[in-house]
Amino acid sequence: MEKTLVIFKPSAIERGLVGNILTRFQQKGLIIAGMKMMMLDEKILREHYSHLVDKSFFPLLLKSMMASPVIVMCLEGKDAINVVRLMTGATNGREALPGTIRGDFASSNQENIIHASSCPEDAKAEVARFFKPEEIFDWVPVNIPFVYSALEIEK
Ligand code: UDP
Ligand code: MG
């Protein structure tokens, strides 16, 4: 099973979309391995968005990500990184396909509802950035044999 990091951005919190999006992840069969509410600060955002610090929109992105508390979540599942990125959709909500979270809820390139890790290296670093080891729970819901075939379950 693979772990990935999701952030419910202020655009999800302020617009009351948390329950709807969480339901989608649960319906898909993803396991919630960790979840908490927190206020992000400039230090953690400069690390998290280090690939964007030189962009002209970075100050606005910082402001947007600190506009309210966020909910950070570690989701676990088979190929969870790719599955969650597919469910998330393209960065720009106006280009994200209908049926994706951004395609259904976002109309912006910045206010795009959630963050999702993009590759295994990022997922590992991001889960460690936002969660202490004891905040990640190694548990297997009883429904897992009905989410995956026996061949697909590693643990
Ligand atoms: N972003 C923005 N303007 C842009 C590109 C990105 O405000 O032109 C923001 C947007 O909120 C995006 C985040 O920066 O989700 C991270 O950008 P990235 O390219 O990593 O996109 P993502 O992985 O979130 O799809
Ligand atoms: Mg990204």
Q: What is the total residue count of the chain? A: 155
- The minimum-distance atom of ligand 1 relative to the CA of 111 is 11
Question: Band of the pLDDT at 8, cuts 50, 70, 90?
Answer: very high
In angstroms, what is the span from residue 141 Cα to ligand 1's centroid? 33
C-alpha dihedral over 38, 42, 46, 52, to 10 degrees? 100
Residue 105 lies in a domain: yes
d(CA 113, CA 150): 34
Residue 60 lies in a domain: yes
Residues 6+ apart with CB under 8 A from 123: 2, 3, 4, 5, 81, 117
Structure tokens at 109: 């390139």
Residue 152 lies in a domain: no
Q: Establish whether residue 108 lines the binding site of ligand 1, counting it when its CB lies within 6 angstroms of any ligand atom.
A: no
- Per the structure, the count of domains in the chain is 1
In angstroms, what is the span from residue 117 Cα to ligand 2's centroid? 7
C-alpha gyration radius of the chain: 15
In angstroms, what is the span from residue 99 Cα to ligand 2's centroid? 20
Residue 153 lies in a domain: no
Rounded mean pLDDT, 80-100: 98
Which structural domain range is residue 67 located in?
A: 2-146
Mutate-to-test residue for ligand 1 from 54, 102, 112, highest number of ligand atoms within 8 A of CB: 112
Mutate-to-test residue for ligand 1 from 61, 87, 105, highest number of ligand atoms within 8 A of CB: 61
Residue 154 lies in a domain: no
Residue 155 lies in a domain: no
Residue 124 lies in a domain: yes
d(CA 11, CA 47): 21
With 60 as the cut, is the pLDDT of residue 155 above it?
A: no
* Residue 72 phi, psi dihedral angles, 5° rounding: -100, 145
Assess contact for 4 and 112: CB atoms under 8 A. no
Tens-place pLDDT, residues 22-75: 999 999 999 999 999 999 999 999 999 999 999 999 999 999 999 999 999 999
- Domain containing residue 90: CATH number: 3.30.70.141
Question: Band of the pLDDT at 109, cuts 50, 70, 90?
Answer: very high
Residue 56 lies in a domain: yes
How far CA 129 is from CA of 19, 43, 47, 137, 153, in Å, comes to: 24, 11, 9, 16, 27
* Residue 116 phi, psi dihedral angles, 5° rounding: -140, 135
Tens-place pLDDT, residues 73-89: 999 999 999 999 999 99
Q: Establish whether residue 61 lines the binding site of ligand 1, counting it when its CB lies within 6 angstroms of any ligand atom.
A: yes
d(CA 30, CA 46): 28
**Reported pTM:** 0.97
